[in-house]
Amino acid sequence: MYKIILVSIFIFSLHESYTQTKKYKIATIGFYNLENLYDTLDDPLKKDDEFTPNGTKKYISKVYLDKLDKLSTVISEIATDVTPDGAAILGVAEIENRTVLEDLCKTDKLKSRNYKIVHYDSPDERGVDVAMLYNPKYFKLLASKSITLSTYHLGGDRPTRDILWVTGLLDGDTVHLFINHWPSRGGGEELTAPFRNEGGRICKHYIDSLIKIDANAKCLIMGDLNDNPTNPSCSKILSAVAKPEKLKVTQNMLNPWINFYKKGTGTLAYQDVWSLFDQIILSYGFVKADSGYLFKQAFIYSKPYMVTKTGRYKGYPLRTYDFDNYNGGYSDHFPTYIFVLKEVKE
């Protein structure tokens, strides 16, 4: 997950100039929408019929196992060029239950990492939840909680995914992670915007409470927000800014994806328009605290094998199904991840 890196800093004064080398640990935190990772069993309490052997997608064991293999390939490769053990923490969305994550973690490409799981069943009608995987070599779980995201008071007519709050120690650093899959745009972006605003409001409420206790609290919002960085849920409700120098302790969060999006880079595409719904947004403590892990850089993980090569979706993420036709892909979203650095004191 982390390794020691050396950074040379050139220092100049009126009396002398010299190069000072500092040592840092570097860790990876990521998020990946796994696009309908269901098991093949029919759950009578969920609307999962299409993802069963007799459903419209003919979702048989062979497809399920191939899906696990494809997803494990991507997850096993994220950030390993810098952090050999990959992501220390990985938030995930669109998983049916804990069992599918257990199967994913047991795949040949991931089993050596011994990923642990934090998951709660949510009230979503389709049965999809959010969850978090973590490598116990580097992260110690302290507490977790499922937070209800209700939209009924805003005119919503169905339950949606809960927000997962996880607190733990990242190499001794206390961190608070909020994993999200906010309500979709089905029914229209403008009509459903208040539902996603509510997701942002809830996260900000909890983070503000933590910052009141400790101004340098390291808090992180990640997930498929179903909104772009410039939408009100992020830009106004979370008051997220693009540049660290604009960040204030109690007022803002840092959203490194704003500049990605303004340059036309995204994590999913629809009708030839790219969106960047898969975000990782950080509190002041992850950016300007005096010690511990601090944000360094953000990335979208997109390799050629994850991209559709031909047809109407050329250039899009290579998804599992094209409507009801098995496509042999990975996910309709690209994963995102960040590096955080911690200075090693001699």
> Is residue 17 very low, low, confident or very high in pLDDT (cuts 50, 70, 90)?
very low
Range of the domain at 306: 4-344
For the CA atoms of 326, 302, 116, 44, the dihedral, rounded to the nearest 10 degrees, stands at -30
109: CATH: 3.60.10.10
Q: What is the pLDDT of residue 301?
A: 98
Phi, psi of 193, rounded to the nearest 5 degrees:
-55, -40
Is the pLDDT at 341 greater than 50? The verdict is yes
Span 143-152, pLDDT tens digits: 999 999 999 9
Question: Who contacts 177 (Cβ-Cβ below 8 Å, separation ≥6)?
Answer: 29, 89, 91, 132, 164, 165, 166, 167, 168, 219, 220, 222
Q: Find the mean pLDDT for residues 25-54.
A: 97
Residue with the two structure tokens 């995930």: 92
Q: What is the pLDDT of residue 3?
A: 53
Q: Find the mean pLDDT for residues 60-84.
A: 97
CB 238 within 8 A of CB 254: no
Residues recorded for the chain: 346
**Cα distance between residue 346 and residue 344, in whole Å:** 6
CB 218 within 8 A of CB 176: yes
Number of folded domains in the chain? 1
CA-wise closest residue to 220 among 77, 56, 72, 90: 90
Angle at 101 between CA 98 and CA 106, to 5 degrees: 130
The pLDDT mean for the chain works out to: 93
Is the pLDDT at 75 greater than 70? The verdict is yes
Q: What is the pLDDT of residue 35?
A: 98
Structure tokens at 237: 């409700």
The dihedral region occupied by 332, where left means phi > 0, alpha psi between -120 and 50, and beta the remainder, is alpha
- Lowest pLDDT segment from 11-15, 55-59, 226-230: 11-15
Span 228-280, pLDDT tens digits: 999 999 999 999 999 998 888 778 999 999 999 999 999 999 999 999 999 99
**Cα distance between residue 8 and residue 21, in whole Å:** 4
Could you write out the three-class secondary structure of the chain? CCCEEEEEEEEECCCCEEEEEEEEEEEEEEEEEEEEECCCCCCCCCCCHHHCCCCCCCCCHHHHHHHHHHHHHHHHHCCCCCCCCCCCEEEEEEECCHHHHHHHHCCCCCHHHCCEEEECCCCCCCCCEEEEEECCCCEEEEEEEEECCCCHHHCCCCCCCCEEEEEEEECCEEEEEEEEECCCCCCCHHHHHHHHHHHHHHHHHHHHHHHHHCCCCEEEEEEECCCCCCCHHHHHHCCEECCHHHCCCCCCEECCHHHHHHCCCCCEEECCEEECCEEEEECCHHHHCCCCCEEEEEEECCCHHHECCCCCCCCCECCCEECCEECCCCCCCCCEEEEEEEEECC
> Is residue 19 very low, low, confident or very high in pLDDT (cuts 50, 70, 90)?
very low
Q: What is the pLDDT of residue 9?
A: 34
Span 317-335, pLDDT tens digits: 999 999 999 999 999 999 9
Q: What is the pLDDT of residue 217?
A: 96
